[in-house]
């Protein structure tokens, strides 16, 4: 790792800024771009005034230049630079020279033909404005068009509240950004260039303004009264709109080309959030803007205002192409200082809109922050570079011209303490979170327990989790702190509550939030039999009613004793570790590894073999050419997770016991490309009153999933898809006689003696009556057949079980 630059390289002529990150689903509808005579052609009222420039005199954020070797592991590199960069709030990362991912947005199908929505920003009002309810002071010399006044609805589904444009102002309306027209990238580039050419028009017509000149003019607009400066910004563009700028797909081991490294790299923002070691991998939902990247298409002066990331997560922004972005960062340790300074200097705005900083509509001068003792640092991001922001680090910025960037969140293990702090702050502010911190925390603890319990050869993944355990480990401390917090709060509620074990699926199908403060209720919840008929619950900080008697209760996912045992397990206590090993797989979402009930399965690398449409394999295949479909399919069933017993008629049949949470892995023809053999994951999930739901998923493509109430039907659905794809590719009814039938139980592994023995061991009391009755009957018949076949006349007078057969 090369030493970082403490000062900005003077050769950098481009700068850039990341737009505001807001977790809401916008469906802005604009109109298509019109010819230059239309109102959507830029109308430039103000002009460049270099004599009154206001460029802030602040320090520069560090710049890092990773080597090719360092660049291979994204999270390891972030961990490496964190001690050097976190105190700045933001930093810039310049990839090695061999990192040049192609941008898929530049293809004509997107560049010329796909529209994206924009939002209108009045740059001159981002700081220098009065409350909406007050009229603009007389004597303010400025020519202005109409700007949107907005209503901020309550936040739903973990999203930050968004501003909804309304045609008329009311007493409760707030300042915000109105919807703009829709553009293609090609047309927006022309719009942006026309604006910049008009605004920075020089009398001598010599050259474009430098980044420094643009920055000085930008802050003059923000801080001083000026004519209207109206720009457009394509911000928070979700995946379905333009898609990611990075290529997505599946890396095929048998194919080697330059694209593979970009598809599978952790620096591809589609992969970052769910990398091994990122705690966001324990959040089952795909949260748009958190785990799924958002795009930002900017023009000169388009702005992302001061904000912190949801749940105080890290963020990584990549600049795909275009002119620079200028960033400003304040370290997380000074976040409250920034908030106090803004409230001090903008009291009327905060009086009218107390959650102003959550709305991302207010910019504020770095010069004023510096004068208030708040450190602010600048980063100029050029095309092909990353900007990393740290937990609770406020950041803002603007664009120097037409450009496109992409951003996503990530949560290394060191984020845990920051995330818990965010939960407490959000609770105080009665603000919804974007994700369940407790679910993520338990997911990390479960993974750590698995690592501590693993045996045999050491491996990098196990070591990476193991080092966060022990008495001083980050995960251990986080679980212990959460335990003490819950213990104290439950004690404070008093003795008027009964403790009830929470159903494992309490929040699996819907969000559970405290009705008082919106805290997530994954770990615990308070309720009342009289008052909870409407499915309303509170957190352990809030008593939701004043009912008396024993009607009030506290749901606990894990008791205080169980959590204490978990802490001891993470510290390495063998008995507690064994106890938790049998529990952790129940909440684990990973499919490629698992240990349960004393069974430890080694992780195996996914390997794909190539086959032609007739089912003949190449020389590298382990499967012979004349293999039948069942020989091929059941070549090797790998148990991943044994699961646990659920006693009930639907959870077994005559031939197998079906443990809840069971998972296995097997090779079969790929439904997308039958010329290849790929891995499938078979699993059993709880469908409530319907009993077990059997699910088969193509491991390399989670969208290819088949579910049914029986294992046989699941695999028949897979087989049907394979046959349809073979016939589609051959354009004729090709002979697929070898694909006529399939054994679903065998594909799940329930014909495997090892798995049969393991599942039977889960039911020592023979609670699954149908299975055991059939097994006993079968064993009895086999014994009788064996006896009859070996009988002879010489044995006719023998005694069997003490009975004379004569």
pLDDT in tens, 149-175: 333 333 333 333 333 333 333 334 567
788 pLDDT more than 60: no
Mean pLDDT throughout 467-491? 93
- Asked if the structure places residue 280 within a domain, the reply is yes
Is 624 marked as a binding-site residue? no
pLDDT band (50, 70, 90) for residue 726: confident
Distance CA 569, CA 476 (A): 9
- Asked if the structure places residue 794 within a domain, the reply is no
321: its two tokens: 């192409």
Q: Are 651 and 572 members of one domain?
A: no
pLDDT for residue 357: 87
Q: pLDDT (tens digit, 9 = 90+) per residue, 520-579?
A: 999 999 988 877 556 788 899 887 777 776 788 889 999 999 999 999 999 989 888 888
Q: Are 392 and 438 members of one domain?
A: no
Distance CA 323, CA 193 (A): 11
781 pLDDT more than 90: no
pLDDT for residue 150: 34
CA dihedral of 547, 548, 550, 555, whole degrees rounded to 10? 40
Q: What is the DSSP letter of 778?
A: H
Q: Residue 780 in contact with residue 787, Cβ under 8 Å?
A: no
- Asked if the structure places residue 616 within a domain, the reply is no
Q: Which of 291, 415, 384, 393 is nearest to 339 (CA)?
A: 393
Q: Are 84 and 111 members of one domain?
A: yes
Is 517 marked as a binding-site residue? yes
Domain stops at, among 412, 445, 469: 412
Q: Are 71 and 109 members of one domain?
A: yes
655: its two tokens: 């031939």
Is 24 marked as a binding-site residue? no
Mean pLDDT throughout 67-88? 95
The larger pLDDT score, comparing residue 201 to residue 394, is at: 394
- Asked if the structure places residue 383 within a domain, the reply is yes
Is 652 marked as a binding-site residue? no
- Asked if the structure places residue 31 within a domain, the reply is no
Q: Are 408 and 431 members of one domain?
A: no
Max mean pLDDT among 112-116, 281-285, 750-754 falls in 112-116
Strands annotated E in 411-522: 498-501
Q: pLDDT (tens digit, 9 = 90+) per residue, 606-616?
A: 233 333 322 33
The larger pLDDT score, comparing residue 134 to residue 579, is at: 579
Domains identified in the chain, total number:
3
Is 309 marked as a binding-site residue? yes
Mean pLDDT throughout 349-357? 87
Domain stops at, among 412, 446, 470: 412
- Residue 572, sorted as left (phi over 0), alpha (psi -120 to 50) or beta, turns out to be left
Tell me how far the alpha carbon of residue 657 is from its chain's centroid. 34
pTM for the full predicted model: 0.67
Q: Are 118 and 255 members of one domain?
A: yes
Q: Are 290 and 402 members of one domain?
A: yes
The larger pLDDT score, comparing residue 22 to residue 120, is at: 120
pLDDT for residue 11: 38
Mean pLDDT throughout 659-686? 90
Q: pLDDT (tens digit, 9 = 90+) per residue, 85-119?
A: 999 999 999 999 999 999 999 998 899 999 999 99
pLDDT for residue 618: 35
Is 545 marked as a binding-site residue? yes
273 pLDDT more than 60: yes
Is 91 marked as a binding-site residue? no
Q: Are 727 and 766 members of one domain?
A: yes
Q: Are strands 498-501 and 552-556 parallel, antiparallel or unpaired?
A: parallel
CATH number of residue 757's parent domain: 3.30.160.360
Q: Are 364 and 456 members of one domain?
A: no
Mean pLDDT of the chain: 78
Q: Are 356 and 456 members of one domain?
A: no
pLDDT band (50, 70, 90) for residue 250: low
Strands annotated E in 42-199: 59-60, 63-65, 90-93, 119-122, 149-151, 164-166, 174-175
Distances (CA, A) of 441 to 25, 566, 597, 633: 26, 12, 23, 38
pLDDT for residue 596: 34
- Asked if the structure places residue 787 within a domain, the reply is no
**Range with the lowest mean pLDDT among 180-194, 484-498, 575-589, 624-638?**
624-638
Q: Which of 579, 485, 495 is nearest to 524 (CA)?
A: 485
- Asked if the structure places residue 314 within a domain, the reply is yes
pLDDT for residue 391: 97
Q: pLDDT (tens digit, 9 = 90+) per residue, 427-440?
A: 998 888 889 999 99
Q: Which of 637, 632, 659 is nearest to 648 (CA)?
A: 659
602 pLDDT more than 70: no
Domain that includes residue 365, residue range: 61-128+176-412
pLDDT band (50, 70, 90) for residue 733: very low
Domain stops at, among 553, 588, 623: 588
Phi, psi of 397 (to 5 degrees): 165, -170
pLDDT for residue 592: 34
- Asked if the structure places residue 151 within a domain, the reply is no
Apex 359 CA angle, 354 and 364, nearest 5: 85
Tell me the three state secondary structure of residue 483: helix
Max mean pLDDT among 48-52, 145-149, 172-176, 209-213 falls in 209-213
Q: What percent of the chain has pLDDT over 90?
A: 45
Q: What percent of the chain has pLDDT over 70?
A: 76
Q: Are 497 and 405 members of one domain?
A: no
Task: Give the sign of the dihedral formed by CA 342, CA 347, CA 348, CA 350.
Answer: positive
Q: pLDDT (tens digit, 9 = 90+) per residue, 500-520?
A: 888 888 888 778 889 889 999
Is 41 marked as a binding-site residue? no
Q: Are strands 174-175 and 149-151 parallel, antiparallel or unpaired?
A: antiparallel
Q: Are 244 and 360 members of one domain?
A: yes
Is 542 marked as a binding-site residue? yes
Q: pLDDT (tens digit, 9 = 90+) per residue, 306-326?
A: 999 999 999 999 999 999 999
């Amino acid at each position: 790792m090369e030493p970082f630059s403490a000062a900005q390289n003077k050769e950098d002529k481009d700068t850039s800024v990341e737009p505001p990150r807001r977790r809401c689903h916008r469906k802005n509808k604009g109109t298509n771009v019109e010819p230059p005579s239309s109102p959507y052609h830029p109308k430039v009222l103000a002009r460049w005034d270099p004599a009154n420039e206001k460029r802030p005199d602040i320090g520069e954020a560090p710049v890092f230049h990773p080597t090719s070797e360092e660049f291979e592991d994204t999270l390891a590199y972030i961990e490496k630079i964190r001690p050097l960069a976190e105190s700045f709030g933001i930093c810039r990362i310049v990839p090695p020279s061999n990192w040049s991912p192609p941008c898929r947005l530049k293809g004509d199908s997107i560049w010329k033909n796909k529209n994206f929505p924009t939002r209108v920003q009045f740059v001159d009002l981002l700081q220098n404005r009065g409350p909406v309810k007050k009229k603009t002071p007389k004597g303010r010399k400025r020519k202005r068009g109409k700007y949107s006044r907005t209503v901020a609805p309550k936040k739903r589904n973990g999203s930050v509240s968004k501003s909804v444009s309304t045609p008329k102002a009311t007493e409760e309306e707030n300042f915000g950004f109105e919807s703009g027209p829709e553009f293609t990238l090609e047309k927006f580039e022309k719009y942006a260039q026309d604006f910049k050419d008009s605004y920075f028009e020089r009398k001598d017509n010599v050259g474009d303004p430098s980044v420094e000149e643009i920055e000085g003019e930008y802050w003059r607009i923000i801080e001083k009264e000026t004519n209207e400066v109206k720009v457009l910004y394509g911000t928070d563009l979700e995946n379905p709109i333009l898609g990611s700028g990075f290529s997505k797909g599946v890396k095929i081991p048998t194919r080697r080309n330059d694209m593979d490294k970009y598809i599978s790299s952790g620096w591809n923002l589609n992969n970052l959030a769910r990398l091994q070691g990122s705690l966001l991998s324990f959040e089952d939902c795909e949260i748009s803007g958190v785990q799924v990247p958002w795009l930002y298409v900017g023009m000169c002066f388009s702005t992302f205002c001061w904000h912190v990331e949801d749940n105080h997560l890290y963020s990584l922004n990549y600049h795909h192409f275009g002119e620079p972005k200028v960033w400003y960062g304040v370290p997380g340790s000074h976040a409250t200082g920034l908030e106090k300074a803004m409230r001090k200097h903008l009291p009327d705005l905060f009086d009218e809109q107390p959650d102003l900083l959550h709305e991302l509509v207010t910019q504020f001068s770095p010069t004023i922050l510096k004068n208030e003792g708040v450190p602010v640092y600048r980063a100029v991001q050029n095309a092909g570079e990353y900007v990393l922001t740290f937990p609770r680090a406020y950041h803002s910025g603007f664009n120097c011209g037409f450009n496109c960037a992409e951003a996503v969140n990530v949560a290394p293990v060191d984020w845990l303490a920051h995330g818990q702090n965010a939960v407490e702050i959000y609770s105080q502010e009665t603000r919804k979170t974007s994700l369940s911190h407790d679910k993520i925390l338990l997911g990390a603890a479960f993974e750590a327990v698995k690592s501590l319990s693993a045996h045999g050869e050491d491996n990098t993944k196990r070591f990476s989790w193991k080092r966060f355990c022990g008495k001083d480990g980050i995960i251990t401390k986080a679980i212990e702190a959460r335990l003490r917090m819950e213990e104290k709060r439950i004690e404070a509620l008093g003795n008027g509550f009964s403790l009830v074990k929470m159903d494992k699926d309490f929040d699996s199908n819907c969000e559970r939030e405290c009705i008082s403060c919106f805290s997530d209720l994954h770990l615990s919840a308070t309720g009342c039999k009289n008052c909870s008929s409407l499915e309303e619950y509170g957190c352990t900080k809030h008593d939701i009613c004043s009912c008396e008697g024993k009607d009030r209760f506290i749901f606990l996912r894990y008791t205080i004793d169980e959590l204490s045992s978990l802490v001891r397990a993470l510290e390495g206590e063998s008995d507690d570790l064994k106890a938790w090993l049998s529990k952790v797989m129940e909440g684990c979402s990973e499919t490629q590894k698992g240990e349960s009930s004393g069974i430890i399965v080694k992780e195996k690398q996914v390997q794909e073999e190539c086959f032609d449409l007739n089912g003949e394999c190449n020389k590298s295949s382990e499967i012979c050419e004349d293999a039948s479909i069942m020989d091929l399919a059941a070549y090797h069933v790998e148990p991943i997770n044994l699961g646990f017993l659920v006693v009930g008629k639907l959870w077994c049949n005559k031939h197998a016991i079906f443990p809840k949470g069971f998972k296995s892995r097997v090779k079969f023809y790929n439904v997308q490309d039958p010329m290849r053999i790929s891995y499938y994951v078979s699993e059993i999930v709880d469908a409530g009153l319907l009993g077990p739901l059997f699910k088969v998923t193509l491991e390399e493509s989670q969208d290819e999933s088949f579910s049914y109430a029986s294992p046989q039907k699941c695999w028949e659905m897979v087989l049907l898809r394979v046959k349809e794809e073979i016939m589609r590719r051959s354009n004729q009814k090709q002979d697929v006689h070898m694909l006529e039938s399939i054994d679903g139980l065998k594909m799940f592994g329930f014909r495997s003696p090892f798995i049969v023995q393991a599942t039977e061991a889960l039911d020592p009391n023979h609670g699954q009556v149908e299975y055991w009755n059939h097994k006993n009957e079968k064993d009895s018949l086999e014994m009788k057949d064996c006896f009859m076949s070996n009988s002879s006349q010489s044995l006719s007078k023998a005694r069997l079980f003490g009975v004379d057969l004569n």
